[in-house]
Amino acid sequence: MAKIRHIAISSQDPETAKKFYMDVFGLRLVRKTERPTHWGYILSDGYINVAILKFSSDAAAGKELGAGYSGLHHIGFHVDDLEASSKKVTSAGGHVRSDIDAAFGVGHAKAGGGGGEFKYTDPAGVLFDLSQGGWATGSTM
């Protein structure tokens, strides 16, 4: 069974968004994230993480939303078997988003792929990712 591990919010001001979600909902800071594709913060309630991200390019954010988009961006699922889950997604009408994976410098899901998050859309175009490695939900800062 897949488990929801994170919900990603695209923000033009991750610092203000971080403060808001910590002050209003009591979320804890897990870590800051800085990569060539995005920067921001990972917050958690201890079960599910909220990633607040500012994307550096339209390719990294996905061409439909773009780097200037603010709002809910995607949901992330932890799965036990990345290859089997990927096949289920495509068999059910979902689509592999290799364009976004390529912007992040990752190849798509392969047998034993383990680490990494791989992007997909459901039949309606809603963006999500699959990860076999999961996410830490405890504070490291």
Residue among 60, 58, 49 nearest 21 (CA): 49
- What domains are defined for the chain? 3-131 (3.10.180.10)
Mean per-residue pLDDT for 52-77? 93
pLDDT tens-digit series, residues 122-140: 987 888 988 887 666 665 5
89, 130 in Cβ contact below 8 A?
yes
pLDDT at 64 over 50: yes
Considering the entire predicted model, what is its pTM? 0.76
pLDDT in tens, 6-42: 999 999 999 999 999 999 789 999 999 999 999 999 9
